Amino acid sequence: MTPSVFRDYLVEMAILCVWQYALGCLVSGAGARSAGPIGLGAVVNTVVPDGEQPFSGLDDAPVEATVLRMMLGGQLRRLREAAGITPDRAGYEIRASRSKISRLETGRVGLKSRDVKDLLVLYGVTDELLVAKFLSLVRQSNTPDWWTKYSDILPDWFEPYLGFESAASTIRSFEIQFVPGLFQTEDYARAVTRMGRKAAPPGEIEERVRLRLSRQGLHTRPVPPRIWSVMDEAVLRRPVGGAAVMRAQLTHLTEAAAMPHVTLQVVPFSRGGHAAESGSFTVLRFEEHDLPDVVYVEQLTGAMYLDQRSDVEQYLEVVDELSGEALTPDATTGFIEQVARET
């Protein structure tokens, strides 16, 4: 195979995967399990035990709804590009902006059947059966997520993160100030939340703490994602919530580090300056071969979601370099215990 043929082949396999996924949802065929060489089967297999009909569990599995949204979005992008249509033109067709198209295509917002129907017509997809399958998948991708009940306190720029986090197979992060949310104790989470919202009523603070703790449910999944966090030593030294809260938090971190799906590493002050001039960030990776990594960078009033390979690669490089500079996971546990004794 020449490179271009190889590339075409990858794209073709990716499209085939979505359609096999589609077929699996509509026709309960066992053949849909072997969804080609690209890793779709892997994620599906983690939620569908042997002997059950494939894909039948989608209704009560928000994880798959997010993945499905991303895959359908990616498929819409490929169809649009194949038809030679610009994002502006596509946006015009569904009475939306160019950036709305981008959010649709990256799975950051839900898909509306009417929009998808219009886009498919624009992209020249006329086969009624295919359109019907696509729309059926769109309905499934709109299954309410577990965090819907927190919508009052959830900024709209944070909601996509929850979808990506719950769909990710690997979550890598670098933190310069706070313990990663997935490892915070309740008291530590409360202290952090209060810090940022001094005027908020107590009820809202508690709601935010509950949301943060709910995210930690992914630790107890049958197949949890791999969570690999690199922290600056400052994270361990800053006594958020006071010494007692911090000591308990540090003990909690050493317990977390013992979980098989968790890797924690600390970059000690003694290493001097390190590779992350960027500040804190998170890289979310998905099992599916054709879903790109997403980098999440949070700011005070919004967040950036980067999924262009050229952007993602710079963050990957930083996180790879930091992981190499940081203490090994074993040495990190000893280091955290030492800091706990000094706190």
Partner 1 sequence: MSKTEFDTSVAHQARMYDYLLGGKDNYAADRAAIEAQLEIFPDLAFAALANRAFLGRAVRYLAAEAGIRQFLDIGTGIPTAGNTHQVAQEITPESRVVYVDYDPVVLAHARALLISHEAGATDYIDADLRDTGNILGQAGQLLDFGEPVAVTLVAILHAIPDSDDPYAIVARLMDAVPAGSYLAISHMGTGLLDSETRRGLEAHSGRAMQQRLTARSREQVTRFFAGTDLVPPGVVRVEEWRQEPGTAADGPGSSALWGAVGRKR
Residues that bind partner 1 (CB under 8 A): 1-3, 6, 37-39, 226, 228, 260, 263, 265, 275, 285, 289, 293, 309-310, 313, 316-317, 320-324, 328-329
Sign of the Cα pseudo-torsion (286, 288, 291, 293, in order): positive
Tell me how far, at minimum, the Cβ of 156 lies from partner 1, in Å: 28
Instruction: Give the shortest CB-23-to-partner 1 separation in angstroms.
Output: 23
Q: Tell me 37's DSSP state.
A: S
φ/ψ of 297, rounded to 5, equals: -125, 120
Q: How far is the CB of 321 from partner 1 (least distance, A)?
A: 5
Q: Which is nearer to partner 1, 98 or 309 (CB)?
A: 309
Cβ at position 252, least distance to partner 1 in Å: 20
- Residue 78 or 289: the one with the smaller Cβ distance to partner 1 is 289
CB of 25 to partner 1, least distance (A): 24
- Render the burial of 289-308: b for 16+ CB within 10 Å, e for the rest: ebbbbbbbbeeeeeeebbbe
Compute the distance between CA of residue 149 and CA of residue 339 in angstroms, rounded to an integer. Answer: 38
59 vs 321, beta carbon nearer partner 1: 321
Cβ proximity of 169 and 287 under 8 Å: yes
Q: Where are the alpha helices (DSSP H) in 197-308?
A: 202-215, 233-237, 243-257
Query: Which positions ≥6 away from 61 have C-beta within 8 Å?
Result: 47, 143
Residue 266: strand pairing partners: 231
- Tell me the β-bridge partners of 295: 283, 306
Q: How far is the C-alpha of 120 from the C-alpha of 17, rounded, in Å? A: 18
Enter the tokens of residue 224.
Answer: 């949890």
Q: How far apart are CA 234 and CA 280, in angstroms?
A: 12
Place of tokens 């995967």: 17
**Residue 15: both structure tokens together:** 């499209």
In the bound state with partner 1, the residue whose beta carbon lies nearer, of 131 and 275, is 275
Shortest distance (Å) from residue 3 CB to partner 1: 4
How far apart are CB 329 and partner 1 at their closest, in Å?
Answer: 6
Which CB, 97 or 328, lies closer to partner 1?
328
Q: Which is nearer to partner 1, 138 or 319 (CB)?
A: 319
Enclosing H/E stretch for 49: none
The residue type found at 177 is Q
Of 68, 85, 92, 86, the C-alpha closest to 17 is 68
CA atoms of 94 and 142, how far apart (whole Å): 18
Least distance (Å) between residue 6 CB and partner 1 = 6
Residue 155 CA to residue 145 CA, distance in Å, equals 15
CB of 29 to partner 1, least distance (A): 22
